[in-house]
Structure formats: C-alpha cells, structure tokens
A and B are shown apart, each in its own frame.
Chain A
Amino acid sequence: MRIFKNLRQAFRGLKLNRGNTLLMTIGVMIGIASLTVIVAIGDGIKYKVLNRIANLGFGPESFSVIAGGGKMFFSRSKNTTSMSLQDAEDLLALPTVRMVVPRQRKRMQIINKKEFTNTRVYGVTPDWQAARRWKVVDGVFLSDADLDRRKKVVVLGATPVRKLFRGSDPIGKMVRLQNNYYEVIGLLQEKGLTESGYDPDDRALIPLTTSISRLTHQTHLHSIKVVTLHASQVPETMKAVTQILRRNHNLSILSEDDFRFITPEGIMQWVTESEQALNRMLILISTVSLLVGGIVIMNILLVSIRERVREIGIRRCFGARRSDITLQFLFESVLVSLLGGVLGVGLGLLLSFGLKRFDILPTLITWEPFVLSFFFCMLIGLVFGIHPARKAAFMNPEEAIRS
C-alpha cells in the first residue's frame, strides 16, 4: 500500500533527522502538557467547590441566611452583629417555614487534660440535627432541656474525638472550652474527609444558649438556617425573610441588606457561572498553547525541508509523485505531534500529580485530556504540516537534485 510505504518513509525521515524531530516533539509536548495540567486544575477546582457545597448540607427546601452583606461565600463583613435570636423567632412565625436553626460559630481550642486541638465550635439548637440529617452514633444529641438550662454539654465530631481521646470512650468525660468544662454527651457519625481536604467531622456542638452566655458572650448570630415546608416555597419565603430582617434591623430603603442568602439554587447558579468562566479561560489558554506547538512544528518542518531538498529531489527522480512527498511529510508532522501529545499527556499527568501531592493546587485527572490531546495532535499535525508538505512536493525536482 502506497500510504503505508510513505508512512515507513516518514518514520525513517524522523529517525534520521533526530534533532528536528526532538525540537518539534518538545514544542507539542509543552503545549499538550500545559493543556493536561490546566484541565486537571480546572476539574480539581470544580470538584472542590462542588464538594464544599455538598457539605453545606442543603436540601432543596432549605436555605441559609448569613449575617453580613455580600454575595454567597464572599462576605463584606460589616454589620455582622445585627442578626439576633429575635430574628430567628420571627422567621419561624412565617407560615411557610417548618424549622429554623440559629447558629453561632467560633473557632477555638478544645482541651482534654493534656490533649488539645483546634476545632470549630457551633452554638446550635436541637433542630440542627433534623435540618442537617446528621446521625448520632453514641450518646444523645442536644435536647431542649439542655438549651433551656444552658447546660455545659457538648456533642463532638469524629475528628476532635480522635485527637482528644485516642481510642478511650469519650461519653461522660469532661472537655474544656475556654474556662468552662463541658460534658461529652454524644458523638456525631463520621463523614470522612472530602476529596478537597475539607473535614466535616472537625466540629463540636454546644447549646446555643450556653454559647451566648458562656462562650462568645455575644447575642448576635452567625447564621440562621431556614427549612421551608416545600422546595417550591423557597423564593417566596426568601422575600418574606428579607422584609422581616430589614424591618428588624431598621434598614432604610437606601441601605443595602446586612445579610445574605445561600440557597441551593444560588449555589447551582454560582457554580455554573464560575464553571463557564473557568471553561472559557481553559479553552483560551489551551488554544494558545496548541497554536504555539503547531507553529513550532510548521517552522521546524519548513527548515527541515530546506535541509532535505536533495532527499526530496532524489525521491522524485526515482518515481515519487507529488502526492507521495506530500504524504510523507504530512505523516512526519502528524507522527511527531502524536508523539509530542503522548509525551505531553505523560508530563502533564506527572505535573498534576505533583501539584496535588504537594498541596499546591487541587487537580483531578479525567479521561478528557487524553481524547482531546489525541484529537488536537492529529489536527495540529495536519493543519500545520500541510503547508510544508505541499512546499516540498511542489519543489522543482531538477533544481532540487542539483542543490
């Protein structure tokens, strides 16, 4: 077969012109490697964000009201002291609201004799468990009695348990937060580290009233989780919540909200938007890097052809048609870019693993870069090889042989 013969000649040409082959391969390799790494980073970030959102524990019928204006996770952190228990009570009075969970949050040291660790301490109401649907594996959850009596009791997540008790039974033991001792009454089921490194088990829960009077010594809330009766009621409930909170906080018509919502829908929209922006950036960067690789191939192939004028002349003398020469050089270009692609994906995977291993950036390896690279390499080889190949084929054989 003519095609296979020219393919063999192309292999031989690449082998004999090692220097040029190497340069072209490196050109494509770098392009593809950066493509692979960029896609891996993009996927990694996407995964991390989705994971964090999943860990917020949202059902479709619930949303959170966070103190402080701003958007989603990005707080402008002003007026953060305005949300009160009264707000929570007023929200619960709304006809569409099934449950509210007011919450305080503080990061602090938790101590058991000589063992200590830093964890997130939340002041919550007993409804928290129902809203989050988080099981207690040992002991009991906070009760209304605990809340009423401001009892110094704590429910621990798996991470502080492991760090403070090292295998011994923590139920009934006393742990210290600031200057007060709290009795451990329950253990939360372990959820495990997420891919992104977020640890949902790293938490300790105490009654909200205890938190207000003994821990934070402040009455304002960090957030209120609102659970509606049905998912379809979320928008109208949010509208009502806005009215109540603005009125309670004495906001004039001109001033902005001093609270923000995190809703399942808002999260999805935010994710979609950031994903689209990210994808646009990925496509742009990849196109540039692949274009660079292609131009490298074209230029080196053009130089190579100038060096190999005589070879082309000889081939033409002994019966190579223009199409034979075109095919040979096109094959050389495609082979080199495929080789560069394979090496580039390899290098890219290595870099991606490295970035993840040393916690520089989150990366996620998917099958997409492989397929994409293969496809793009073929395309690069063809698009950027055709010009040099045609140039070689249309050389005057008489002049070529005499050069």
Chain B
Amino acid sequence: MNSICKSYRNIGFETQVLKNITLHINEGDYVSIIGPSGAGKSTLMAIAGCLAQPSSGEYILDGEEVGKLSDRKLSRVRNEKIGFVFQAFHLLPGVTALDNVILPLVYSRNPPANIKDRAREVLAKVGLEHRLHHTPGQLSGGEQQRVTIARSLINNPPIILADEPTGNLDSKNGIETMKTFDKLVDEGKTIILITHDSEVAGHASRIISIRDGEIDSDTKRASSSVTEAEKL
C-alpha cells in the first residue's frame, strides 16, 4: 500500500454531512480524527471503511477507486484490507470468543489452512488465550474490546479503523487498548482512530480535527515518534 488518497465533494444524505473533504493518509500513519458529535466523524469513518460510498468525489484506497466498486468487491475490500474496532464492541452475542474472532475468515477468499490456530494466535496476542470459549456475556468490557481487536487483526488487514475504542471502557482498560494500538503501529499497520477524547487522540502522530463536515485542522506531531525513539 503506497498511499490512500481521499477527496470528497458534497457528501451527505439530505443535508451535507461532509463538505469537500480532501485527505491523504499514508501507509503506517497513526491518525486520529477528532471533533464534536455531529461533525461528520462517523460518516467519514463509514466511507473510509467502505461501509458507505461518497455521494460525490472519489476515494482511492491502495490505488483502487473504491467509490465505484460493486457490493461484491467492496465486501472483499472490507474483508481483506480493513479491520474494524467499535465502541460498542459489536461481537456476536452467544458466540464464543474464538468463533467471534474467526468471523472475518468465514467470508475470506483464501483463509489459512488452520483457522482455529490462527484465531488462537491472535487471541493470545491480545492476552486472551485463557478466554477462548467464553461468550461476550461472560467477558468483561476490557476483554470484549480485546476480542474485537483480535477479530480485526485475524485477516491481517493493513488498516485498522477504530471508532471510539475507549468510549465504553474504564480508564485502565482504555490505556491498555491504546497501548495495543501503539504496538500495532510499530508493526506497520495504518491506524485511523476516531474519538472525541483529546487524550486518546494524543497517542496518534497526526490529529485531524473535523467541525461541521469540514477539516478544521490537520497537525502532525513529532512527539509520538520521540516517545518511540525513547522506547527504543
């Protein structure tokens, strides 16, 4: 993946939710998008995640014009290139953590030979190897969020889209989650984080602020890479 280039024009349903947003996100970027509720964050996220298509303008992901793809191809893009992490977790109720994590592989074109091993592997990565057969109802909020992260990783997508990942978590679990994201960036993932919490946004190397459907500010911070350097 070389570059993601997004440009929107007159996006909206009846009202314009996003107005002429032009955005360029590079591979390996750690971007957070902040803004008050109703600013269009979620719509931007839906378009970035190929869940909705822009009413005008173009969205080029990995050199592919996504805005014009059929549902079939769009589904494949979601499956292979994007991992979703949601505020409300969105795990299938009554289904074990293992099976929840496997979900993206169900719809994958070329799943690994041993699906269960792969699922155990990613669950171990988020520290849940002891909770494989628990259903979401039997897991704490922090554990559920880790299952969703494991699920977003199982297909090894280059992009992780996180919508308010800490919104339903206490501060301790929130910090844990953010540390996980920091680790993923080190592994070369592109992370797009949507939040209204400036402290959470502070983890990112680039903060895009949105207001009333337009980009308010776009600041790149060196501090993040400094801390990386310090860690190293």
- A residues at B contact (CB < 8 Å): 5, 9, 12, 16, 310-311, 313-324, 396-398, 401-402
Min CB gap B191→A, angstroms? 17
Verify if B46 is at the interface (C-beta below 8 Å from A): yes
Assembled-state Cα–Cα distance A314/B49 (Å):
12
- Measured CB to CB, the nearest residue on chain B to A18 is B94
Q: A315-B107, A318-B104 are in contact. List 20 more A-B contacts (CB 8 A).
A: A5-B106, A5-B107, A12-B99, A16-B92, A310-B90, A314-B91, A317-B84, A317-B90, A318-B84, A318-B103, A319-B78, A319-B79, A319-B107, A320-B107, A321-B76, A322-B75, A323-B72, A397-B52, A398-B51, A401-B90
Is the beta-carbon distance between B52 and A396 smaller than 8 angstroms? yes
What residues of chain A lie closer than 8 Å to B72, measured between beta carbons?
321-323
- Measured CB to CB, the nearest residue on chain A to B148 is A314
Select which of A9, A321, A397 is within 8 A of B51 by beta carbon: A397
Assembled-state Cα–Cα distance A398/B46 (Å):
6
Assembled-state Cα–Cα distance A321/B52 (Å):
14
Select which of A16, A317, A321, A322 is within 8 A of B93 by beta carbon: A16
- Measured CB to CB, the nearest residue on chain B to A13 is B92
What residues of chain A lie closer than 8 Å to B91, measured between beta carbons?
314
Known contacts A318-B107, A321-B75, A322-B71: A311-B92 contact under CB 8 Å: yes
- Measured CB to CB, the nearest residue on chain A to B81 is A319
CB-CB contacts of B19-55 with A at 8 A, as 1s and 0s? 0000000000000000000000010001001011000
Going nearest first, the 10 A-B pairs with the smallest beta carbon separation are A319-B79, A319-B107, A318-B104, A321-B75, A398-B51, A398-B46, A16-B94, A398-B52, A397-B51, A320-B107
User: Can you name 19 A-B pairs with beta carbons within 8 Å?
Assistant: A5-B107, A12-B99, A310-B90, A311-B92, A314-B91, A315-B107, A316-B78, A317-B51, A318-B78, A318-B151, A318-B155, A319-B78, A319-B107, A319-B155, A398-B46, A398-B52, A401-B51, A401-B86, A402-B42
Is the beta-carbon distance between A314 and B106 smaller than 8 angstroms? no
Select which of B75, B79, B106, B108 is within 8 A of A9 by beta carbon: B106
What residues of chain A lie closer than 8 Å to B46, measured between beta carbons?
398
What residues of chain A lie closer than 8 Å to B103, measured between beta carbons?
314-315, 318
Which residues of chain B (150-165) have a CB below 8 Å from chain A? 151, 155
Min CB gap B83→A, angstroms? 8
Assembled-state Cα–Cα distance A323/B73 (Å):
12
Select which of B80, B84, B93, B107 is within 8 A of A324 by beta carbon: B107
- Measured CB to CB, the nearest residue on chain A to B53 is A398
Assembled-state Cα–Cα distance A324/B109 (Å):
12
Known contacts A5-B106, A310-B90, A319-B108: A16-B95 contact under CB 8 Å: yes
**Residue of B86, B99, B106 contacting most chain A CB atoms (<10 Å):** B106
**Residue of B42, B93, B107 contacting most chain A CB atoms (<10 Å):** B107
Assembled-state Cα–Cα distance A320/B49 (Å):
14
Assembled-state Cα–Cα distance A295/B71 (Å):
30
What residues of chain B lie closer than 8 Å to A5, measured between beta carbons?
106-107
Min CB gap B105→A, angstroms? 9
Is the beta-carbon distance between A317 and B107 smaller than 8 angstroms? no
Assembled-state Cα–Cα distance A396/B107 (Å):
18
Is the beta-carbon distance between B75 and A320 smaller than 8 angstroms? yes
Assembled-state Cα–Cα distance A320/B103 (Å):
9
Is the beta-carbon distance between A314 and B94 smaller than 8 angstroms? no
Is the beta-carbon distance between B79 and A318 smaller than 8 angstroms? yes
Known contacts A321-B75, A324-B107, A396-B52: A313-B93 contact under CB 8 Å: no
What residues of chain B lie closer than 8 Å to A396, measured between beta carbons?
52
What residues of chain B lie closer than 8 Å to A318, measured between beta carbons?
78-79, 84, 103-104, 107, 151, 155
Is the beta-carbon distance between B75 and A316 smaller than 8 angstroms? yes
Known contacts A320-B75, A322-B71: A314-B51 contact under CB 8 Å: no
Is the beta-carbon distance between A319 and B71 smaller than 8 angstroms? no
Assembled-state Cα–Cα distance A318/B90 (Å):
11
What residues of chain B lie closer than 8 Å to A315, measured between beta carbons?
103, 107
Assembled-state Cα–Cα distance A402/B51 (Å):
11
Min CB gap B37→A, angstroms? 13
What residues of chain B lie closer than 8 Å to A321, measured between beta carbons?
71-72, 75-76, 107
- Measured CB to CB, the nearest residue on chain A to B42 is A402
**Residue of A9, A313, A322, A398 contacting most chain B CB atoms (<10 Å):** A398
Assembled-state Cα–Cα distance A402/B45 (Å):
12
- Measured CB to CB, the nearest residue on chain A to B151 is A318
Assembled-state Cα–Cα distance A303/B84 (Å):
27
What residues of chain A lie closer than 8 Å to B49, measured between beta carbons?
317
Assembled-state Cα–Cα distance A16/B95 (Å):
8
- Measured CB to CB, the nearest residue on chain B to A402 is B42
Assembled-state Cα–Cα distance A318/B103 (Å):
7
